[in-house]
């Protein structure tokens, strides 16, 4: 089926049709996983998707494009962009205000009356969308709260699957075969784009159901010992560790929950404080045992011991001892989450626990 051209104001012509990602000229978000989820979900939903039809895929400075700089294409994006779907992270770029300013610079690349879709639960982003001088663009927001144009309703989580509806009278039930409530926002971002393109609900449903994460990103593995391993060893930052731990906390139906964390690297002068904050978070959650590996991760253990006690928290200086202790503790119907920065190579621990 041929795809109608966009009108000059960035809106699709009236009438029912199946859209493709050829009509999306840029997607702006955050993180490799988010890029994968957004693009994969839309790819699945639009059967005639071709990557060559996407002129620019821009995710927080990571480009898939034939242009070297975004300034080369200022004012040429006509349709849909998605701005950051996670909490602004000051660990790398400075203050939250500076980061918010940087993230909305993408507006310079959008044509007059073009559409920008953004994460509406971040106050600093919403504030900047409402600033004077932005009246020549259209805005739509998504998120958890009912102040957004699209938000989640009727969320159900069952054995590695999340089902939800959105704030529409005739909303179908959407599902994603991923763990972690934060992935609902990723799905909402994809739904927001797909609906603007008038992709059919049944195709959106199929696209989301076919989503998957790549290896070592909340990867669920069944061990020979009958316990579940969640391998999230690809990388770690304070925000991603918090999201993973929150997801782990939400899991139910297991006898014991064991958390194995490695160093979060490259965090600068406040690296020790960031690790201590993770330790304080763990104290408030449903975790039976905490094991850490690395010089920085030991501060997670030291902080967690204050609330959990020494008997259930231990810091290790070598992987062999950690693996031996984990094998001693883990039994049938237990679950263990393994997460750390890439440089910690915690997949070695996962492989031994299998």
**Confidence at residue 96, expressed as pLDDT on a 0 to 100 scale:** 64
CA distances from 27 to 56, 59, 64, 118, 119 (A): 7, 7, 10, 11, 13
65 contact partners, CB below 8 Å, separation of at least 6: 55, 56, 57, 58
> DSSP state, 11?
P
* CATH tag, 219-353: 3.90.190.20
Closest to 11 measured CA to CA, from 141, 19, 143: 19
Tokens of 348: 């070695």
| Burial class (CB within 10 angstroms; exposed 0-12, middle 13-18, buried 19+) of 228 | middle
Residues in contact with 339: Cβ distance below 8 Å, sequence separation at least 6, in sequence order: 232, 233, 236, 240, 241, 244, 260, 261, 262, 346
**Within 10 A of 332 (CB to CB), how many other CB atoms are there?**
9
CA dihedral sign, ordered 325, 256, 282, 181: positive
Going along 190-277, which residue ranges are E strands?
A: 219-222, 228-232, 257-262
CA 70/CA 88 separation, integer angstroms: 21
The pLDDT profile of the chain, 354 residues, written as one tens digit per residue, is: 222 222 222 333 333 333 333 334 344 444 444 445 555 555 554 433 333 333 333 333 333 333 344 444 444 444 445 554 444 454 444 566 776 776 677 677 677 777 788 888 888 888 888 775 666 788 889 889 999 999 999 998 876 789 999 999 899 999 988 887 778 888 888 888 788 777 888 888 988 888 776 788 888 899 999 999 999 999 898 888 998 999 899 888 899 999 999 999 988 888 999 999 999 999 999 899 999 999 999 999 999 999 998 999 999 999 999 999 999 999 999 999 999 999 999 999 999 999
Residue 129: per-residue pLDDT? 80
The residues spanned by each domain of the chain are 21-209, 219-353
Q: Output phi, psi for 344, to 5 deg.
A: -85, -15
For residue 103, what pLDDT is reported? 67
Q: Which CATH architecture has domain 21-209?
A: 3-Layer(aba) Sandwich (3.40)
């Amino acid at each position: 089926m041929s795809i109608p051209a966009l009108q000059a104001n960035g809106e699709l012509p009236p009438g029912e049709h199946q859209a493709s990602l050829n009509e999306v000229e840029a997607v702006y978000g955050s993180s490799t996983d988010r890029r994968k989820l957004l693009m994969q979900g839309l790819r699945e939903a639009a059967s005639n998707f071709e990557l060559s039809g996407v002129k620019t895929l821009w995710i927080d400075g990571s480009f898939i494009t034939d242009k070297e700089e975004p300034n080369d294409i200022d004012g040429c994006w006509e349709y849909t962009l998605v701005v950051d779907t996670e909490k602004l992270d000051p660990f790398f770029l400075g203050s939250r205000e500076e980061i918010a300013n940087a993230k909305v610079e993408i507006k310079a690349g959008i044509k007059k009356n073009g559409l920008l879709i953004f994460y509406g639960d971040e106050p600093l982003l919403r504030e900047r969308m409402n600033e004077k001088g932005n009246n020549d663009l259209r805005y739509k927001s998504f998120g958890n709260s009912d102040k957004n144009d699209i938000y989640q309703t009727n969320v159900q989580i069952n054995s590695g699957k999340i089902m939800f509806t959105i704030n529409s009278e005739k909303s179908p039930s959407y599902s994603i075969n991923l763990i972690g409530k934060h992935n609902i926002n990723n799905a909402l971002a994809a739904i927001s784009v797909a609906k603007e393109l008038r992709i059919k609900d049944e195709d959106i449903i199929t696209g989301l159901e076919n989503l998957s994460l790549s290896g070592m990103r909340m990867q669920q593995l069944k061990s020979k010992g009958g316990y579940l391993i969640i391998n999230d060893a690809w990388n770690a930052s304070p925000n991603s560790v918090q999201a993973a731990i929150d997801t782990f906390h939400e899991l139910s139906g297991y006898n014991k929950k064991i958390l194995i964390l490695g160093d979060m690297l490259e965090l600068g002068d406040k690296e020790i404080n960031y690790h201590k904050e993770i330790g304080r978070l763990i104290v408030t959650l449903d975790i039976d045992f905490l094991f850490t590996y690395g010089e920085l991760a030991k501060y997670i253990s030291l902080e967690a011991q204050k609330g959990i006690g020494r008997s259930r928290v231990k810091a290790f200086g070598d992987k062999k001892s950690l693996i031996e202790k984990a094998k001693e503790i883990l039994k049938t119907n237990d679950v263990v989450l393994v997460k750390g920065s890439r440089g910690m190579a915690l997949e070695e621990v996962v492989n031994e626990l299998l």
